[in-house]
Amino acid sequence: MDLEKLFRPRSIAVVGISKKNPLSPGRIVLLKNEFEMEVKVYGIYPNGGEIEGIQLYERLDQLPEIPDLLVIAVGPDDTLEYIKECGDLGIPASVIIGGGFAEIGGKGKKRQERLEKIAFESDIAVLGPNCLGVYAPPIVDTIFLPTERITRPPKGSVALISQSGGVLVDQFFVKFNERNIGVSTAVSIGNRAVVDEVMLLEYFSRVDPETTNIAFYLEGFKEGRARDFLQLAKESEDTVIVFFGGKTREGKVATQSHTASLAGNYKIIYDALRQHYIIQPHSERELLTCLKVFDILAKKRNPFGDNVITFGDVAIVSVSGGHAVLASDMLKKYGLNAVRFSHQEKRDLKSLMNPVAAEIASFNNPIDLTGSVLDTDIENIIRYLSDVERIECIILLLLPYPPNISFQIGRRVANIITSKNKPVVCFVPYVSKYSLIIESLELANIPVFHSIKETVQAVSALKQRTRVDNLKLKNMFWE
């Protein structure tokens, strides 16, 4: 089944357009693609005519070409007719927006079985039903929510696949955008009658050149597909991340009315995923934190070089003692350790500071530079620690409140980090006046977070990824 036509179509057709209701899903998809996306789009309407200057065709077989993809936004019985027509005309892919299939049980289930039969027999890559479809910038966007209501994430390395359209456009699009995490393709899979998580994993890890990180929000595996998913993930060179909804009994009850998924025993799933090198964040925030660092590492100018984090040995550098305490409190939970400095190292560190701060700063790990810190102190300390081999990563808690820290500090720190290649993860408060500092660091591809927890989680994500990479490598040689 050719998924490329689903995600990189040259042309699409849309059925289910209303001339009266400007908010009908079909009409929104027609106009979105015509005016915002690169794909060639055709509208189908029983009596023809036009909408906003776009010519409408009465039937699919009247189109000047066979489109790569048909977007269907009509009732369930008509949907089946259109899928048959795709088979007859040789349209290779379809997105079915509407519901009325397996998710309503009874006759809906029967409908879905018929849909599957036709699609597999005619080799049509059907996405859905009951989904938002595809967002693959700059080519195509079948998300039927009005453009003015949506937040779109930037372009990047992450293929994002969600069993919930709501979670996709809200939790992920909004927060990807806030954190500047880039998406290659976003997919809402709905009932996944035909195209499912296994086919998507295969496509994004083996075919799609833009994707290096593949993230799933699932409420359970499709029946009989877990094994294939795990095997593919194990073989994939991309980083595979799965975040499960419906992990608890209460959540499971909810998934049953939502996607009719049998979430199963999460502990068994958890262990299986871990054995197959799949990263499993414990919370949505952790998912976002992972994706942010992995998306940055996928960039050509990766400031961390080939450094890996094997043991999780970190140094914490803070401008505020309290922040240092809070970060230290989280280390163990995230599998990290504070390295111990020798007496000589402490003396060295002290000698690198301005005399006022040197007297009151503390040079244990965490290092508390205090509010008397100067830009040069931060530079000197980061430069020194970068050369200490047993430190695998530096956590820099950079609070720009002290009067003598300049607004150049972001650029100044970035220069050292990029010259040293030592992994450094930064915390900078998310305050608009500090955006200059944040941007300087991010322009140099240095990950910046705005909560202490996410900063620590990010280092943990780097360690987890190293472990996954090492395991895969080992796997190649030994199995």
Nearest partner of 30 among 56, 68, 3, 59, judged by Cα: 56
Q: How far is the CB of 305 from a copy of itself (least distance, A)?
A: 28
Q: Where are the alpha helices (DSSP H) in 51-172?
A: 76-89, 106-122, 165-166
Q: How far is the CB of 401 from a copy of itself (least distance, A)?
A: 5
Q: How far is the CB of 61 from a copy of itself (least distance, A)?
A: 30
Nearer to a copy of itself, 404 or 466 (CB): 404
Q: How far is the CB of 322 from a copy of itself (least distance, A)?
A: 2
User: Quick check: 335 binds a copy of itself (CB under 8 A)?
Assistant: no
CA atoms within 13 A of residue 93's CA, in its CB half-sphere: 21
Nearer to a copy of itself, 87 or 371 (CB): 371
Q: How far is the CB of 207 from a copy of itself (least distance, A)?
A: 27
User: Quick check: 87 binds a copy of itself (CB under 8 A)?
Assistant: no
Nearer to a copy of itself, 91 or 373 (CB): 373
Measure the CA angle with vertex 135, ends 153 and 92; round to 5°.
160
Size of the site for a copy of itself (CB under 8 A): 81
Nearer to a copy of itself, 23 or 473 (CB): 23
Q: What is the DSSP letter of 341?
A: P
Residues contacting 308, CB < 8 A, separation 6+ = 392, 466, 469, 470
User: What is the distance between the alpha carbons of residues 312 and 337, in angstroms, rounded to a whole number?
Assistant: 6
Q: Judged by CB under 8 A, which of 9, 67, 92, 99 binds a copy of itself?
A: 99
Residues contacting 56, CB < 8 A, separation 6+ = 17, 43, 44, 45, 48, 49, 50
User: Quick check: 147 binds a copy of itself (CB under 8 A)?
Assistant: no
Nearer to a copy of itself, 24 or 421 (CB): 24
Task: Name the residue with tokens 């009465």.
Answer: 58
Task: Name the residue with tokens 């991340």.
Answer: 241
Contact 279, 464 (CB under 8 A): yes
- Chain positions 268 to 287 lying near a copy of itself, rule: CB under 8 A, are 283-285
Nearer to a copy of itself, 89 or 145 (CB): 145
Site string for a copy of itself, 38-77 (x = CB under 8 A): ----------------------------------------
Helix, strand and coil in the chain, % to nearest 5: 45, 15, 35
- Chain positions 454 to 473 lying near a copy of itself, rule: CB under 8 A, are none
Q: How far is the CB of 250 from a copy of itself (least distance, A)?
A: 4
User: What is the distance between the alpha carbons of residues 389 and 392, in angstroms, rounded to a whole number?
Assistant: 7
User: Quick check: 219 binds a copy of itself (CB under 8 A)?
Assistant: yes
User: What is the distance between the alpha carbons of residues 226 and 423, in angstroms, rounded to a whole number?
Assistant: 35
User: What is the distance between the alpha carbons of residues 440 and 435, in angstroms, rounded to a whole number?
Assistant: 8
- Chain positions 149 to 168 lying near a copy of itself, rule: CB under 8 A, are 149-151, 162-168
Q: Judged by CB under 8 A, which of 139, 325, 436, 444 binds a copy of itself?
A: 325
- Please give the structure tokens belonging to residue 185: 């393709």
Contact 368, 323 (CB under 8 A): no
Q: How far is the CB of 106 from a copy of itself (least distance, A)?
A: 12
User: Quick check: 320 binds a copy of itself (CB under 8 A)?
Assistant: yes
Q: What is the DSSP letter of 69?
A: E
Q: Which stretch binds a copy of itself (CB under 8 A): 47-55, 97-105, 117-125, 152-160?
A: 97-105
Q: 329 φ, ψ to 5°?
A: -55, -25
Site string for a copy of itself, 221-250 (x = CB under 8 A): ------------------------xxxxxx
Nearer to a copy of itself, 148 or 223 (CB): 148
Q: Which stretch binds a copy of itself (CB under 8 A): 30-38, 251-259, 380-388, 440-448?
A: 251-259
Nearer to a copy of itself, 137 or 366 (CB): 366
Nearer to a copy of itself, 55 or 337 (CB): 337
User: What is the distance between the alpha carbons of residues 298 and 123, in angstroms, rounded to a whole number?
Assistant: 34
The SS3 of residue 439 is helix
User: Quick check: 369 binds a copy of itself (CB under 8 A)?
Assistant: no
CA dihedral 300, 301, 306, 308 (to 10 degrees): -100
Nearest partner of 458 among 400, 397, 389, judged by Cα: 397
- Chain positions 406 to 445 lying near a copy of itself, rule: CB under 8 A, are 429-431, 433
Q: Judged by CB under 8 A, which of 359, 419, 470, 475 binds a copy of itself?
A: 359
CB 210: neighbour CB atoms within 10 A? 18
